[in-house]
């Protein structure tokens, strides 16, 4: 049979502690009323206390976008800017870099091609390639990304969407002259 002291230590202590804690909490709220700042003669604030929410987190500072520069097809096709062509040359065949969308045409000839659709995509693709290859241009895309994007769109892809993407990147401002 269990001794009374063993019962107290195993069962009674948590119950007594809980009861005592309940009495302390209840008695704190009974006579405790906050006094208004600057109040005299024992004036008390009436009503209930409302917790103040934490201020919202500040807006995160956006991280800088990689790139931010790009030269247009009009820049790259001008003879005085041929010295800015690195890795590639104006007389290099388009098909030596990309799918053969322009048979027998050089990179320069594709830049000089007028028109919309595939022709417009070709111009902006060559400009994107030259921007990505030039270390003096902080271009958002890599050479590999430009090549794979064009090759994924040709043949039969969404030429206009890719042309618009490249055009947006190519028209950010040319840092070279």
pLDDT tens across the length of the chain (177 residues): 444 444 444 444 444 444 444 444 444 554 444 444 544 455 555 656 566 666 665 555 444 456 789 999 999 999 999 999 999 999 999 999 999 999 999 999 999 999 999 999 999 999 999 999 999 999 999 999 999 999 999 998 899 999 999 999 999 999 998
Q: Where are the domains of the chain?
A: 73-170
Q: What local confidence, expressed as pLDDT, does residue 157 receive?
A: 87
Q: What local confidence, expressed as pLDDT, does residue 60 receive?
A: 52
CB 75 within 8 A of CB 81: yes
Q: What local confidence, expressed as pLDDT, does residue 6 receive?
A: 46
Q: What local confidence, expressed as pLDDT, does residue 127 receive?
A: 98
Q: What local confidence, expressed as pLDDT, does residue 76 receive?
A: 96
**Cα–Cα separations (whole angstroms), residue 159 to 59, 62, 100, 123:** 37, 31, 15, 12
Q: What local confidence, expressed as pLDDT, does residue 141 receive?
A: 95
Beta strands per DSSP E along 53-107: none
Tokens encoding 146: 């430009």
Q: Coil, strand or helix: which one is 177?
A: coil
* DSSP bridge pairs for 106: 93
Q: What local confidence, expressed as pLDDT, does residue 47 receive?
A: 59
Q: What local confidence, expressed as pLDDT, does residue 69 receive?
A: 94
CB 136 within 8 A of CB 87: no
CB 130 within 8 A of CB 141: no
Contacts of 3 (CB under 8 A, 6+ apart): none
């Amino acid at each position: 049979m269990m001794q009374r002291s063993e019962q107290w230590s195993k069962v009674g202590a948590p119950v007594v502690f809980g009861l005592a804690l309940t009495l302390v909490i209840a008695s704190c709220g009974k006579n405790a009323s906050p006094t208004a700042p600057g109040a005299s003669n024992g004036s008390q604030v009436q009503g209930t206390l409302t917790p103040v929410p934490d201020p919202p987190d500040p807006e995160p500072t956006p991280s800088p976008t990689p790139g931010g520069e790009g030269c247009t097809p009009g820049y790259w096709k001008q003879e005085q800017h041929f010295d800015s062509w690195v890795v590639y040359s104006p007389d290099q065949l388009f098909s030596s870099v990309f799918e053969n969308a322009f048979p027998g045409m050089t990179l320069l000839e594709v830049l000089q091609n007028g028109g919309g659709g595939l022709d417009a995509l070709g111009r902006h693709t060559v400009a994107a390639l030259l921007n990505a290859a030039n270390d003096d241009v902080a271009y958002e895309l890599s050479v590999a990304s430009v090549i794979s994007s064009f090759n994924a769109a040709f043949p039969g892809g969404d030429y206009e969407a890719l042309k618009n993407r490249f055009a947006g990147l190519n028209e950010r401002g040319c840092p070279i002259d």
